[in-house]
Amino acid sequence: MGMRSIFSRLAALALTLALGLALCASSTAREAVPRAAHASGKSAAARTTLARKLNAALASARIPPAQRAAEVVDLATGEVIYSRHASGSLAPASNEKLPITLAALTLFGPEYHISTEVLGEGEQQGNEWLGDLVLKGHGDPDLSTGDLKRLARQVRAAGIRSVSGDLIGDESFFDRSRTAPGWKSFFLVNECAPISALSVDRGVVTNASPPLVAARVFAKMLAASGVKVKGKVRVGAASSDALSIASVESPALWKLLRFMDRESDNYSAELMLKQIGANDNEQGTTANGAAAVNSVLADDGIPLAGLRIVDGSGLSQSDRLTAKALSQLLVTVWGDTTLRRPFVGSLAIAGRLGTLSHRLRSRPALGNVYAKTGTTNSASALSGYVRTRYAFVILQNGSPVSATRARAAQDRFVTVLAAQ
């Protein structure tokens, strides 16, 4: 690793630690400040000036008012200090990942891990497994060849040197749909790898069944570890009484979500939605996941009017969110000490990390805006936090929408807030 790479990683780590300390400190400090003091601290004239600047920022993208929405909330008081068309039902692009993140953290907790198992159908006699081995996935988006190598070594460590039957790739934890409703045909592969509960190396091999590819890679790892499979490699499902032989776990959920949101990774988002759908022993389907996300939002008092959760990534042309719902989601997260740190820590940081690393690279926004970006040809969005002071949402739609003008307007909008 070169010195530049080392210094870059150290800088990113320092920034993440600083953000965590700021989030913890802000919670205590904010409790000591009377709400009335914040409410009365800004004069009517100052509010008018701020609204005028924010209006000008939004208008600079030249998007009709009915196709754009924005809202800003004071995190100290919970007061909405700016709102335009906030109940409008608009396509969110990758801001769709925000409700998915909230639901995942709520249902599973930040330290949740996703397992991948090796199960045995049959019994072990001496050094031979009499029957089939099953590689069963549970939707780990981070499953790698290295993980399969670890599983193979565990199989050998169990005293197994040969398998009389087949090696089976099991993706039955999710359904077998490779896409989500409302996707354009070219989104598959180009925007997201095929969706499966068992896929290795982020589905990089896309011309074959994901579970079959994973099982074939596992067969190679077994052979390299000194375990011979005498049967064939195929796709199937383990029986309910199959025996556990080996297992590996994904990184903690908060790390998976950090990659998903900071890099706006569509593959992770679609697997996460099906993971949510599989909660409470339901099958992992996109529809079940969407229903569960809606339930979490409703439980948190977030208005569902105008919302349509159709996929996890925001690629679906049928997805709809409102600025009102997203701003309330952000405020809800901020007020929950168990959610705040992993959620805010998953967001891109202006001029520093993720999809905002090349935007907002000047003060006062630099390093002070933590947000989720979103871009399709018909939608652009930016939602998140400005320091520990504001939650904000910007949704812009068009046919198409100019990404350049939309992003410039977003950057101008949050820069106004950062200057307050």
Domain CATH for 239: 3.50.80.20
By CB atoms closer than 10 A (0-12, 13-18, 19+), residue 206 is: middle
Structural domain span for residue 187: 115-250
Verify that 104 and 120 share a domain, yes or no: no
Query: Same domain for 119 and 215?
Result: yes
pTM of the model: 0.89
Please tell me the total count of domains within the chain.
2
Q: Are residues 151 and 300 in the same domain?
A: no
Residue 291: inside a domain, yes or no? yes
Domain assignment present for 11: no
Is beta strand 115-125 parallel, antiparallel or unpaired with respect to 243-249? antiparallel
- Please indicate, yes or no, whether residues 119 and 99 belong to a single structural domain of this protein: no
- Do 297 and 337 have their domain in common? yes
pLDDT of residue 160: 98
Residue 1 lies in a domain: no
Of 214, 231, 250, the residue that ends a domain is 250
Cα–Cα nearest to 344, from 284, 384, 311, 395: 384
Could you tell me if 284 and 410 lie in one domain?
Answer: yes
* 9 domain-assigned: no
Looking at the structure, tell me whether residues 266 and 243 fall in a common domain: no
* pLDDT attached to residue 33: 36
Domain boundary among 250, 265, 289: 250
| Residue 354 DSSP label | G
What is residue 23's predicted lDDT score, i.e. its pLDDT? 55
* 201 and 173 within one domain: yes
192 & 149 share domain: yes
Which residues, 6+ apart, have CB-to-CB distance to 256 below 8 Å? 114, 141, 142, 250, 268, 272
Of 233, 250, 267, the domain-final residue: 250
For residues 215 and 279, membership in a common domain is answered with: no
Q: What local confidence, expressed as pLDDT, does residue 282 receive?
A: 76
Which CATH number does the domain housing residue 67 bear? 3.40.710.10
Tell me how crowded residue 107 is: count the other CB atoms within 10 A of its CB: 17
Rounded CA-CA distance 367/256 in Å is: 22
Compute the Cα dihedral for 28, 33, 34, 36 and give only its sign: negative
Q: Assess if residue 7 is contained within a domain.
A: no
Q: Give the gyration radius of the chain's Cα atoms.
A: 24
Q: What is the mean pLDDT of each run of 10 residues along the chain (420 residues)?
A: 45 52 46 39 79 96 96 96 97 98 98 98 97 98 98 98 98 96 94 96 84 97 98 97 97 98 98 95 91 97 97 98 98 96 98 97 97 97 98 97 97 97
- Residue 348 in any domain: the answer is yes
Let me know whether 365 and 292 are in one domain.
Answer: yes
Residues 140 and 233 in one domain: yes
Spatial separation of the C-alpha atoms in residues 102 and 48, rounded to whole Å:
33
* Unique residue bearing structure tokens 């996703």: 114
Q: What angle do CA 211, 113, 95 make, to 5 degrees?
A: 85
Does residue 365 sit within a domain? yes
Buried b (16+ CB within 10 A) or exposed e, 193-202: bbbbbbbbbe
